[in-house]
């Protein structure tokens, strides 16, 4: 599927059970999101450019490699915040820039409410973090904004995506790489992913869910 990677791994399957189960406690849900974010993050960064560097161990000089790209994390508020800490553990020098988008419940379209990206200083690579890629509307706004900022390479990391959302990202942004733990088949009448996991933001932050 072009630049779309649906990651196949036993641990991803295991932790997806936790986030999908409606009775999972918020603390366990957050922990599972953390673990899934790490697993997706490892795959999403496996081809970052590196350069050789020599370091001195207690015993001798060792030939190593360091990432050369300037990488930024761009969580989509608010659910994307749940993926930031695990990615910072992998990329401790990454900058974090926030984009605030909320879902209009009547139209299911994203509405932008927060954007503090500067006019210059765009990173080489931006990792857009959003646990759920449903219609693809939020990702479309985020990618367009990052392109306007001057980001050279954009990668989207999600836990669960809908097939419709994936196809929209592929169609509109064929150069954007997408990494997901699972692709679900359909959206319901309210544009929620089915079977999905419900509202990721509500479950991460333990706020009331509709219904």
* 148/133 Cα distance (integer angstroms): 21
Residue positions annotated with a catalytic role: 103, 107, 199, 202
Write out the DSSP string of 86-120.
HHHHH-TT-EE--EEEEE-TTT--EEEEEE---SS
Q: How far apart are the C-alpha atoms of 191 and 135, rounded to whole Å?
A: 7
* C-alpha span between 86 and 37 (Å, rounded): 6
- Other residues' Cβ atoms within 10 Å of the Cβ of residue 105: 10
Burial of 80 (0-12, 13-18, 19+ CB in 10 A): buried
Q: Please tell me whether residue 75 adopts helix, strand or coil conformation.
A: strand
**Cis preceding linkage at 78, omega within 30:** yes
Task: Considering only CA atoms, give the Rg of the chain.
Answer: 18
């Amino acid at each position: 599927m072009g630049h779309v990677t649906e990651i196949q791994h036993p641990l991803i399957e295991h932790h997806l059970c936790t986030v999908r189960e409606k009775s999972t406690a918020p603390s366990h849900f957050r922990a599972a999101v953390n673990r899934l974010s790490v697993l997706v993050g490892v795959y999403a960064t496996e081809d970052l450019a590196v350069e050789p560097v020599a370091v001195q161990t207690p015993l001798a000089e060792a030939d190593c490699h360091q990432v050369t790209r300037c990488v930024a994390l761009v969580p989509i508020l608010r659910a994307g915040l749940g993926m930031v800490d695990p990615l910072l553990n992998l990329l401790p020098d990454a900058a974090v820039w926030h984009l605030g988008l909320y879902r209009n419940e009547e139209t299911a379209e994203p509405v932008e409410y927060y954007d503090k990206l500067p006019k210059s200083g765009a990173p080489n690579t931006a990792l857009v973090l959003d646990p759920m890629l449903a219609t693809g509307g939020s990702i479309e706004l985020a990618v367009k904004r990052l392109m306007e900022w001057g980001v050279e390479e954009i990668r989207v990391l999600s836990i669960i995506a809908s097939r419709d959302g994936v196809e929209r990202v592929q169609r509109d942004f064929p150069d954007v790489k997408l990494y997901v733990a699972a692709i679900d088949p359909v959206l319901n009448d309210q544009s929620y992913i089915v079977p999905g996991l419900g509202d990721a933001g509500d479950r991460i932050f333990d706020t009331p869910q509709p219904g």
